[in-house]
Amino acid sequence: MPRESGDASFLRRLNQVAVLRGLHGTETATLAELARTARLSRATTETIMETLLREGQAEEFAPSATERLRGRPARRFAFRGAVGHVAGVGIGGARLTAMVADLRGRIVAREQVSAPPDLPSAGRLDAIAALVARACAGAGIAVADLTAVGVGTTGVIDGAGRVVKSVVLADWTGVPLQAELARRLAVPVLVENDMRLAVLAEHWRGAARDRADVMYLHTGSRIGLGLLLGGTPHRGSHAAAGELGGLSSSGWPGFQDVVAYARSVDPEVSRAPGRAALLALGRARAGDEEAGRAVDSFARALGRVLVGLVTPLDPELLVIGGSLAQAGEQVTRPIRDCLAEACLYPPDVVVSELGPDAVGLGAVRHALNEAERLLFAPSN
């Protein structure tokens, strides 16, 4: 049998990638549709499809009874997401979340565990590894079967996945997070700031679908910002874009009114601004006028800060996430009014559609990006 030249082998791989991309980009497709998308002959596409079926990257759908009655239906195929899996991990101030998804992005397992902010770094790393293992077991796979693990954490993260600085978690600054988790899990790990992954998740399957320039504001026990510019999360020259250190809730004047209100009804929440705001929001929804005024003052203060961020960045959408997003229009309306008064082109203001899952889903998307890079690599 004559040996295939390197050029011929490379061209064959390019053609296979073209068909695989076409299949991955749609729910189902016929050979004719895939041939047009890949710009290949039907015969070449059919040969490639047989390879993809044999390798488990594609699956064929049996025609329905109605289609069979109409004659000989065209064969239909789909990308087989279960050919591989990724995991996404969200590291928050009070809990850890792990999700496992197939290569279609379908979440097939989810696990969560409490993790206090004063937990030593070694204990937190071990808890993350154990949580990923539990999620994989729930998905019916081994950790070693994962193509990649995406991780979102608070703090400034450098290009090597090291936590340069963290003000939320104790014993977290300086941790080589990517290297430590890769050692424990023995699979590729990618680490990114949690707010950048949250805005990535909103862009993928949340409130920011089909939007290219987006600002994501996390509100709760802390204030954080994620920026999506041109459809890509923005890191900044020091990977510190969105790190609003001066707006930590413990010292930010914007929380003064809700804290003062909360102290008047429940002194125990006075030292926790996020809890104070939630208490005021709950009472405002119940019709407490004083609570309503405190919430409105809080939201307007937040809006005034956002004016200085929105004006130079000119986003088309502002997504409010975090625990205070559950207030909905109670928070978005005053912010929207402030931006309308001060900005030449005020963005739409909406609440997150993903809630507490935003960071974990963003970590899944981050891992899927790596999995797709490998899947569609011409040299595979």
pLDDT in tens, 99-116: 999 999 999 999 999 999
- 70-102 pLDDT, tens digit per residue, is 656 788 999 999 999 999 999 998 899 999 999
> For residue 252, which of 231, 275, 230, 273 has the smallest C-alpha distance?
273
- The fourth-level CATH superfamily of domain 207-353 is ATPase, nucleotide binding domain (3.30.420.40)
Rounded distance between C-alpha atoms, residue 82 and residue 151, angstroms: 21
pTM of the prediction? 0.90
What's the whole-number mean pLDDT along residues 329-354? Answer: 93
Q: What is the pLDDT of residues 205-254, one digit of tens each?
A: 999 999 999 999 988 767 889 999 999 999 888 777 777 654 444 445 66
Q: What is the pLDDT of residue 69?
A: 58
Q: What are the residue ranges of helices labelled H in the chain? A: 6-24, 31-38, 42-54, 65-69, 121-139, 177-185, 194-205, 256-265, 273-285, 289-313, 329-342, 358-375
Same fold, 6-79 and 84-199+359-375: no
Domain residue limits, the chain: 6-79, 84-199+359-375, 207-353
Cα–Cα distance measured from residue 87 to residue 315, given in angstroms and rounded to the nearest whole number: 30
Note the pLDDT of residue 267: 76
- The mean pLDDT of 5-20, rounded to a whole number, is 86
Give the count of beta carbons closer than 10 Å to the beta carbon of residue 344.
7
Q: What is the pLDDT of residue 73?
A: 73
- Please say whether the structural domain 84-199+359-375 has been given the CATH code 3.30.420.40: yes
Domain 6-79 sits in CATH at 1.10.10.10
